[in-house]
Amino acid sequence: MAHYAELDNDNRVIQVIVGVDEPLDGEAIYQQETNRVWKKTSYNTYASQHRLGGTPFRKNYAGIGYTYDPDMDAFYPPTPFPSWVLDKEIGVWVPPVPMPVDNKFYIWIEEARQWVEYTPFSG
Protein backbone atom coordinates (compact mmCIF):
# COMPACT_ATOMS: atom_id res chain seq x y z
CA MET A 1 0.00 0.00 0.00
CA ALA A 2 1.15 3.50 -0.77
CA HIS A 3 0.73 6.67 1.28
CA TYR A 4 -0.26 10.00 -0.25
CA ALA A 5 -0.13 13.54 1.12
CA GLU A 6 -2.73 16.09 0.04
CA LEU A 7 -1.24 19.55 -0.41
CA ASP A 8 -2.98 22.90 -0.13
CA ASN A 9 -2.14 25.85 -2.40
CA ASP A 10 0.91 26.71 -0.24
CA ASN A 11 2.32 23.16 -0.47
CA ARG A 12 1.36 22.41 3.13
CA VAL A 13 0.21 18.88 3.93
CA ILE A 14 -3.44 18.85 4.99
CA GLN A 15 -3.95 15.09 5.16
CA VAL A 16 -2.15 11.81 4.55
CA ILE A 17 -4.01 8.72 3.36
CA VAL A 18 -3.28 5.11 2.48
CA GLY A 19 -4.07 4.20 -1.11
CA VAL A 20 -3.13 1.81 -3.84
CA ASP A 21 0.18 1.97 -5.66
CA GLU A 22 -0.06 4.12 -8.75
CA PRO A 23 1.85 3.50 -11.97
CA LEU A 24 3.14 7.09 -11.86
CA ASP A 25 5.21 6.11 -8.78
CA GLY A 26 6.07 9.38 -7.11
CA GLU A 27 4.62 11.81 -9.62
CA ALA A 28 2.07 14.36 -8.47
CA ILE A 29 -1.58 13.49 -8.86
CA TYR A 30 -3.84 16.45 -9.52
CA GLN A 31 -7.46 16.26 -8.40
CA GLN A 32 -9.59 18.59 -10.51
CA GLU A 33 -12.62 18.59 -8.20
CA THR A 34 -10.68 20.16 -5.32
CA ASN A 35 -7.75 21.82 -7.13
CA ARG A 36 -5.47 19.82 -4.84
CA VAL A 37 -2.24 18.00 -5.54
CA TRP A 38 -1.41 14.64 -3.97
CA LYS A 39 2.19 13.50 -3.55
CA LYS A 40 3.33 10.01 -2.72
CA THR A 41 5.24 9.71 0.56
CA SER A 42 7.23 6.89 2.14
CA TYR A 43 6.15 5.68 5.58
CA ASN A 44 9.64 4.32 6.25
CA THR A 45 11.65 7.45 5.41
CA TYR A 46 12.97 9.92 7.99
CA ALA A 47 15.90 12.35 7.62
CA SER A 48 16.79 10.87 4.23
CA GLN A 49 17.19 7.41 5.71
CA HIS A 50 14.95 4.42 5.03
CA ARG A 51 14.45 2.60 8.32
CA LEU A 52 14.29 -0.81 6.62
CA GLY A 53 17.38 -0.24 4.51
CA GLY A 54 15.50 0.60 1.33
CA THR A 55 15.78 3.69 -0.81
CA PRO A 56 14.70 6.88 1.03
CA PHE A 57 11.93 8.84 -0.67
CA ARG A 58 11.28 12.59 -0.35
CA LYS A 59 13.51 12.85 2.74
CA ASN A 60 10.64 12.39 5.28
CA TYR A 61 7.28 10.73 5.61
CA ALA A 62 4.73 13.54 5.25
CA GLY A 63 2.67 14.64 8.21
CA ILE A 64 -0.13 17.14 8.65
CA GLY A 65 1.45 20.60 8.79
CA TYR A 66 4.58 19.53 6.92
CA THR A 67 5.67 21.43 3.82
CA TYR A 68 6.46 19.97 0.43
CA ASP A 69 9.40 21.70 -1.26
CA PRO A 70 9.34 21.04 -5.03
CA ASP A 71 12.97 22.17 -5.46
CA MET A 72 14.14 19.61 -2.91
CA ASP A 73 11.37 17.14 -3.86
CA ALA A 74 11.00 16.65 -0.13
CA PHE A 75 8.65 16.91 2.83
CA TYR A 76 9.89 18.63 5.96
CA PRO A 77 8.22 19.36 9.32
CA PRO A 78 7.40 22.77 10.78
CA THR A 79 10.34 24.46 12.47
CA PRO A 80 10.49 23.69 16.20
CA PHE A 81 12.25 27.00 17.02
CA PRO A 82 12.96 30.19 15.05
CA SER A 83 16.75 29.83 15.45
CA TRP A 84 16.90 26.33 13.96
CA VAL A 85 17.95 25.91 10.32
CA LEU A 86 16.62 23.45 7.76
CA ASP A 87 19.28 20.99 6.66
CA LYS A 88 18.26 20.56 3.03
CA GLU A 89 20.43 17.47 2.59
CA ILE A 90 18.37 15.45 5.06
CA GLY A 91 15.18 17.53 5.38
CA VAL A 92 15.19 18.13 9.14
CA TRP A 93 15.68 21.19 11.33
CA VAL A 94 18.96 21.45 13.23
CA PRO A 95 19.78 23.66 16.21
CA PRO A 96 22.48 26.32 15.98
CA VAL A 97 24.29 24.48 18.80
CA PRO A 98 24.47 20.67 18.76
CA MET A 99 22.88 18.90 21.70
CA PRO A 100 25.46 17.38 24.09
CA VAL A 101 25.91 13.64 23.78
CA ASP A 102 26.53 12.37 27.30
CA ASN A 103 23.53 10.19 28.26
CA LYS A 104 21.79 13.07 30.06
CA PHE A 105 18.48 14.69 29.14
CA TYR A 106 18.44 18.18 27.64
CA ILE A 107 15.85 20.72 26.59
CA TRP A 108 16.35 23.57 24.15
CA ILE A 109 15.92 27.08 25.59
CA GLU A 110 15.22 29.31 22.61
CA GLU A 111 15.71 32.63 24.44
CA ALA A 112 19.24 31.59 25.48
CA ARG A 113 19.83 29.54 22.33
CA GLN A 114 21.33 26.74 24.32
CA TRP A 115 20.70 23.25 25.64
CA VAL A 116 20.00 22.99 29.36
CA GLU A 117 20.22 19.75 31.26
CA TYR A 118 16.79 18.53 32.32
CA THR A 119 16.43 16.86 35.67
CA PRO A 120 12.94 15.53 36.38
CA PHE A 121 11.49 16.62 39.69
CA SER A 122 11.47 13.80 42.19
CA GLY A 123 9.59 14.67 45.28
Q: How far is CA 73 from CA 25, 41, 59, 90, 121, in A?
A: 14, 11, 8, 11, 44
What's the whole-model pTM score? Answer: 0.83
- Is residue 43 located within the same domain as residue 74? yes
- Is residue 57 located within the same domain as residue 114? no
For the chain, give the mean pLDDT.
Answer: 90
22 pLDDT above the threshold of 70: no
* Residue numbers of the domain that contains 106: 79-123
24 pLDDT above the threshold of 80: no
Q: How far is CA 9 from CA 13, 38, 46, in A?
A: 10, 11, 24
- Is residue 74 located within the same domain as residue 84? no
- Is residue 67 located within the same domain as residue 96? no
Q: Tens digit of pLDDT for each residue in 29-80?
A: 656 666 789 999 999 999 999 999 999 999 999 999 999 999 999 999 999 9
Q: Tens digit of pLDDT for each residue in 71-80?
A: 999 999 999 9
